[in-house]
Amino acid sequence: MNEAPAQGTAETVAVPLRPSLRERWARRPPSLGFLVGAGLLTTYIVVAISALFVFRNSLGQLPQTTAWVPPFNPIGPSWAHPFGVMPGFGTDLFRAIWQATPWDLGIVAGIVGIDVFLGFFLGAIAGLNEGGVFDAVITFVCDSLGAIPTFLLAIVVFAGLVTVAPSAVGLPLFVGVFGVILWPTMARTVRERARTIAHAPYVDAARASGASFPRILVRHVMPNSLGPVLAQVPLDVAPIFFVLSAFPWYYNCQLPGGPPTPPNSPPLHYLVPNLPFFSPLPSSSFPEWGYLLGFGTCDGFTSVGVFASWWMYFFPLLAIVGLGLALGLLCDGIERWRHFDR
């Protein structure tokens, strides 16, 4: 007896096919990790934007205070200098990291953006076109480029460009080169996922109903191959900062005999930051986390006491790891949100 009115309401109330974002949010609240990651990343972006306004004219230059350079004792974290002072630069480390934030977010966003764009797109095409010409070419390039360690290829390509066009060398070129070099790893994992999706029943159904290759790619394969992309993005942050920090570190403190000094320069009794000849950074007083970390690892261990100058490498490291973790938590959160049943 109750069936008739119930049916009536079901017919009158039009249930939308796709629930709104708010409804979906309410049905599946995001995990704690997602919220923490999103909060951390927002903090980074806010810090970066604030740095753009605060250091408007001197964003690319670390100021040097002569009273803080090494004939004087190193200054550790205190209320005046929350992160301590980096002696070689003669700069408050808090200010240096703050100033570096917009640059580093730009570098990471640019490289990861190119990486994701190329890797996701080409990997999905290769997976859907399994056995075809696209697949053969993309797989061949991926497998061949994947045989070379990323950091080595990036540095070699960059060093080659330095010899041929020194004026073009800079952060934009570095971002472009690195992004183009990182994509094979991404494309390979995406291809593996896309390959299995290309044989899924719903893709067969779409194909049977006459959907074109681009439509299947964009509507079915790419949205369902997002998982490997989300797993790879935080990992791709690591080689970027490895290259940015390892080479300044090696150049400043591992080079036998120390870094070369300009002729007729007075002898210095402390470590001065230097850049290797193929560095993408424009000057040796440029704020950049990797550079600060590389130099800090060098300077922090040459000072008196093994771990006495811990802040010199700890805070740049914290900034880098924090950014990677924020991306990791965010990506994991999105992946869980998409597959709440797993």
- Which range binds another protein by CB under 8 A, 62-70, 95-103, 218-226, 248-256? 248-256
Give the three-class secondary structure for 86. strand
Footprint on residues 32-61 left by another protein (CB under 8 A): 33
Nearer to another protein, 72 or 140 (CB): 140
The end-to-end CA distance of the chain, in Å, is: 40
Name the one range near another protein by CB under 8 A: 10-18, 114-122, 242-250, 280-288. Answer: 242-250
> In angstroms, what is the minimal distance from the CB of 290 to another protein?
8
Q: Which is nearer to another protein, 23 or 143 (CB)?
A: 143
Paired tokens of 168: 């073009």
What's the CA gap between 37 and 234, in Å, rounded? 12
Instruction: Centre a 10 Å sphere on the Cβ of residue 3 and count the other Cβ atoms it contains.
Output: 7
Q: What x-and-dash track marks residues 193-222 binding another protein by CB under 8 A?
A: ---x--------------------------
Q: Does 157 bind another protein (CB under 8 A)?
A: yes
In sequence order, the β-bridge partners of residue 86 are: 91
Which residues does residue 85 pair with via DSSP β-bridges, in sequence order? 92
Cα R_g (the chain), whole angstroms: 25
Our separate counts of H helices and E strands in the chain read 13, 2
Beta carbon nearer to another protein, 211 or 321:
321
CB of 248 closer than 8 Å to CB of 276: yes
Contact stretch for another protein (CB under 8 A) within 46-54, 58-66, 109-117, 276-284:
276-284
SS3 state at 153? helix
Question: Which x/- pattern over 291-320 shows residues binding another protein (rule: CB under 8 A)?
Answer: --x---x---x----xx-----x---x--x
Long-range contacts of 155-160 (CB under 8 A, 24+ apart): 155/243, 155/247, 155/278, 157/181, 158/278, 158/280, 159/277, 159/278
> Which listed residue (13, 21, 147, 304) binds another protein by CB under 8 A?
147
CB 174 within 8 A of CB 161: no
118 versus 161: smaller Cβ distance to another protein: 161
Helix (H, G, I), strand (E, B) or coil at 94: helix
Among 91, 101, 189, 279, binds another protein (CB under 8 A): 189
Q: CB 248 → another protein: shortest distance, Å? A: 11
Binding site for another protein (CB under 8 A): 33, 140-141, 143-153, 155-157, 159-161, 163-164, 185, 188-189, 196, 227, 231, 234-235, 237-239, 241-242, 245-247, 249-251, 254-256, 276-278, 293, 297, 301, 306-307, 313, 317, 320-321, 324-325, 328, 332, 342
